[in-house]
A and B are shown apart, each in its own frame.
Chain A
Amino acid sequence: MTNQKSVWLRLLKLPSLLTVLLLAQGGVRGQGKEVRIAAAADLKFAMEELAGQFEKQTGTKVDVTYGSSGNFFSQLQNGAPFDLFFSADIDYPKKLEAAGLAEPGTLYEYAVGRIVIWTPADAKVDVVKEGWRALLDERVQKIAIANPEHAPYGRAAVGAMQKAGIYDQVKAKLVYGENISQAAQFVQSGNAQAGIIALSLAILPPMNDGKRWGIPAELHAPIVQGAIVLRNAKNKGTALAFLEFVKSDAGRALLSKYGFAASRKK
């Protein structure tokens, strides 16, 4: 009995210790000038370079968390401590703005996403030559796309297949990844023979040694991607400065280098 009691006492002390640690950490965090960004997973490489250059120019630390835009949206609604949100879809930041959770007037369309049909280099079907017909080939048993119910790239993939008139024929072959990266992973591991993924993923390692065929942009609704500064940002000034940097010529050039078409030029 006494033994049990002491265990309970120790357990009770644990949370208070954790609280002290968390508070201490919070104090350190508050002092820094760093900007905390929630970014869609497909931005990973572009954002790393953007953050690196911004850090070099301003000396401000940029802390980026990558994930699914929908997840971030739910988290931000519940007070996640981010200063800036780069969504893979313009709808989420728009909804945050409408809900009064974002800084009014800071919504920025940073890019328009493009999609490609992608296969590994050793695929038996040549997607570069065949285009859409590659998906109809019987050797392609599974086609991976992002879940069209909530992923913008998945919606665009379905829209494009419908417009190309092949959707009903390939519908049974489709498998859904949680997001565009998982769809790519299904193809890369060989479990699906082809996928419709973001150009920004297809041009980077390890996907860039595969074969790809660009889906014409007019076949699907534009995948407009938006960023916004959040209402309860700790470092609003720095967040705005980072957004300005993304808007600058250098920032836009960098984004297009990573496969994100600039939105204004369209």
Chain B
Amino acid sequence: MDALWLSMKLAACVATILLLLGMPVAYWLAYSNWRGKFLLESVVALPLVLPPTVLGFYALVAMGPRGPLGKLWIALFGHGLAFTFAGLILASVLYSFPFAVQPLIASFESVDRKLLDASAVLGAGSLRTFWRVILPLSLPGVVTAIVLSFAHTLGEFGVVLMVGGNLAGVTRTVSIDIFDRVQSLEYGEANRMALLLLMISFAVLSVVYAVNRRVWTPWAAKS
């Protein structure tokens, strides 16, 4: 149960960070006219296709005392970044990045440009336009981004395995715990946890699809 709680905590932290980090990135990717934009789009999508072992391996090396990130972290805090909760958050933010950014881009892009022009003509700055026009119209995308990054982090395995060090209460997430139990041949316990995770994941994904199908709307529609 500790492991499940830890995973929830990790997923909540990662989803929050990704929302804050993802919005400016998605905004820029949706509206920039820069010719080289496709390069950044590819970088953002990389975690989708890279195996977690590659990400995890790079993260482990980068967090080590010879890596740039590890050097900085050790100078600041006196200990390494690997095997810590902060290290897991960092690795998970990388790993779930496209799951937050891509729904945001898609919903930002689908906002009618005429409304943006109208907003600008009426004297609103781009920040005001974002808050008053783009964001309210993109709420399903925002919900999708939050829920997907949460769910994806909850189900994360390979990256955590590579950089976590399997410390109870710190880096032993629910997927690692299940794996451990299978390895120790405790199939009953593994089954129980796996089923619980399955149900949570199903519930979470149902929220995304319900929102996108407008089965119900979690916010009041303003006329």
The chain A residues found within 8 Å of chain B, CB to CB, are 68, 70-71, 73-74, 141-142, 144, 147, 149-150, 175-178, 182, 185-186, 189-192
Contact = CB atoms under 8 A, between A and B. Distances in A.
B166 A175 contact: yes
Most chain B CB within a 10 A radius of its CB, from A141, A144, A177, A190: A190
A178 B82 contact: no
Contact of A176 (B79, B166, B182, B184): B166
Interface stretch (B38-46, B63-71, B108-116, B122-130): B63-71
16 contacts: A71-B183, A74-B182, A74-B185, A142-B83, A147-B183, A149-B183, A150-B180, A150-B184, A150-B185, A175-B83, A175-B165, A176-B165, A176-B166, A177-B165, A189-B61, A191-B83
Contacts of A71: 183
Contacts of A142: 80, 83, 165
A178 B166 CA distance: 8
Given A74-B182, A142-B83, A175-B83, A191 B166 contact: no
Nearest to A73: B185
Interface SS, B side: loop
A192 B61 CA distance: 12
Contacts of A178: 161, 166
B167 interface: yes
Nearest to B81: A191
B63 A191 contact: yes
B60 interface: yes
Nearest to B166: A176
A185 B167 CA distance: 17
Interface in B43-76: 60-61, 63-66, 70
A191 B183 contact: no
B183 A141 contact: no
A191 B80 contact: yes
Contacts of B64: 189-191
B64 to A, nearest CB: 4
A190 B80 CA distance: 9
Contact of B66 (A68, A70, A190): A190
Contacts of A149: 180, 183-184
Contacts of A68: 183
A185 B60 CA distance: 9
A73 B63 CA distance: 33
A8 B200 CA distance: 30
